[in-house]
Amino acid sequence: MKSRTKAKRFFAIMLVAAVCIALFSVSTAAASIGTSTGSITITLRDSDNQPLSGITFRLYRIATADTGRNGVHFSYTEDFAGNGMPAGNFSDSYLPVHLTAYAQRNNIAYTEQFTDAAGTTVFGNLPFGAYLIVPVGRTEGYLAPNPFIVALPIKDATNDEWISDVDASPKVEDDKGEYEETYISVKKRWKTTDTIPQSITAALLRDGVLVETVQLNAENNWYYRWDNLSNHYAWSVVETEVPAEYTVTYVTSERTVIIINTHEDYEEEPTVPPEDELIDTGQLNWPVPVFATAGLLLFSIGWAMLNLGKKDEEEA
């Protein structure tokens, strides 16, 4: 009788363990990355939802992607490694502008396609990585779309799945405004304890194309302003060559672009967070389901053993 009871206990425990392991397997499988290539479909339509055909786009591969258990890690390709902006923060709205100018100055190779009658073009069979997409020229009656970045793959937070085939619909604005003159200015700031360079070069871009450069230095108080610019174009300013041992970031305020160079050894003054604010310790998310499943497993085993123990006492 006792041997039969022990056998029941053993099979019950193994059944609970098998169920928990199966649950854990489903959780990790949903977050896995199954392929290594993807595609980017670009659809261009105007404000009346009419397709815009014959619009040329250039595609640059700016970063490689390393896929693993903890997600995707991006690293600049050799062509873009020296651009001076940190990799990975693809939500930075100024990064595509900076990289577009960098690609032009360094004659980096690209793939070029144009939209068809439906306003669509597809860049297919792309190795995982990050891609800079640059519209070329402008269409009569419309402002030029801005360059943008697409990462492959991207995470769909809704169902915890990785998407390898991405659709992009750049915003296209009608050029209906009357001509007006505008301006744009640039300021330079340094974050360093070292001696700063004597000067840097800032470039004025019109619809992403370099049109003029100026030197910023102590004599002009690291400041310059361009006047008499047409409001029918998108104007921006970038640093052409980031000094060695520095990274660059951009802050825009009204019509001013602030270029900030931060030395690699520079450390910000520490700040004390409010007491009611949680501190981000950098803990990765992947251990959470592991520990949760392990806890469920141990609880279920204990529950099974407790109930079987009670039945043993009743049968005895």
**Centroid of chain to Cα 15:** 43
Q: Within a domain: residue 277?
A: no
Cα angle 128, 134, 138; round to 5:
155
Task: Tell whether 137 and 205 lie within a shared domain.
Answer: no
User: pLDDT tens-digit profile of 99-112?
Assistant: 999 999 999 999 99
User: pLDDT tens-digit profile of 40-77?
Assistant: 999 999 988 999 999 999 999 999 998 766 678 899 99
pTM over 0.85: no
Task: Tell whether 66 and 109 lie within a shared domain.
Answer: yes
Q: How far apart are CA 35 and CA 261, in angstroms?
A: 38
Average pLDDT value over all residues in the chain? 80
Q: Within a domain: residue 75?
A: yes
- Residue with the larger pLDDT of the pair 186 and 19: 186
Which pLDDT value is given to residue 281? 35
Task: Tell whether 14 and 123 lie within a shared domain.
Answer: no
User: pLDDT tens-digit profile of 251-309?
Assistant: 998 899 999 999 998 887 765 565 544 333 333 344 444 444 445 445 455 555 555 55
- Stated length of the chain: 316
Which pLDDT value is given to residue 72? 84
Which pLDDT value is given to residue 174? 83
Does the pLDDT value for residue 121 go beyond 60?
yes
Nearest in space to 172 (alpha carbons), one of 209, 205, 140, 144: 144
What total number of domains does the chain contain? 3
For residue 160, what are the CA distances in angstroms to 32, 33, 108, 251?
A: 9, 11, 35, 33
Whether residue 153 is preceded by a cis peptide bond, meaning omega within 30 degrees of 0, is: yes
Q: How far apart are CA 58 and CA 146, in angstroms?
A: 12
Q: Within a domain: residue 284?
A: no
Which pLDDT value is given to residue 69? 64
What is the helix (H) or strand (E) element at residue 127, kind and residue range?
Answer: strand 120-127
**Residue 42 belongs to a domain with what CATH number?**
2.60.40.10
Residue 141 backbone class (left: φ over 0; alpha: ψ -120 to 50; beta: rest): left
- Residue with the larger pLDDT of the pair 201 and 30: 201
Task: Tell whether 162 and 47 lie within a shared domain.
Answer: yes
Task: Tell whether 51 and 12 lie within a shared domain.
Answer: no
Which pLDDT value is given to residue 127? 95
Domain hosting residue 310, numbered range = 2-26+291-315
Sheet arrangement for strand 256-263: 223-230, 181-191, 256-263, 246-253
Task: Tell whether 161 and 131 lie within a shared domain.
Answer: yes
Task: Tell whether 150 and 91 lie within a shared domain.
Answer: yes
Rounded to whole angstroms, the maximal C-alpha distance in the chain is: 98
Cα angle 73, 124, 33; round to 5:
35
User: pLDDT tens-digit profile of 162-185?
Assistant: 899 999 999 888 887 788 899 999
- Model confidence band, residue 242 (pLDDT cutoffs 50, 70, 90): very high
Task: Tell whether 52 and 157 lie within a shared domain.
Answer: yes
Task: Tell whether 163 and 41 lie within a shared domain.
Answer: yes
Mean pLDDT of 143-158: 89
Which pLDDT value is given to residue 70? 67
**Residue 240 belongs to a domain with what CATH number?**
2.60.40.1140
Q: Residue 96 in contact with residue 148, Cβ under 8 Å? A: yes
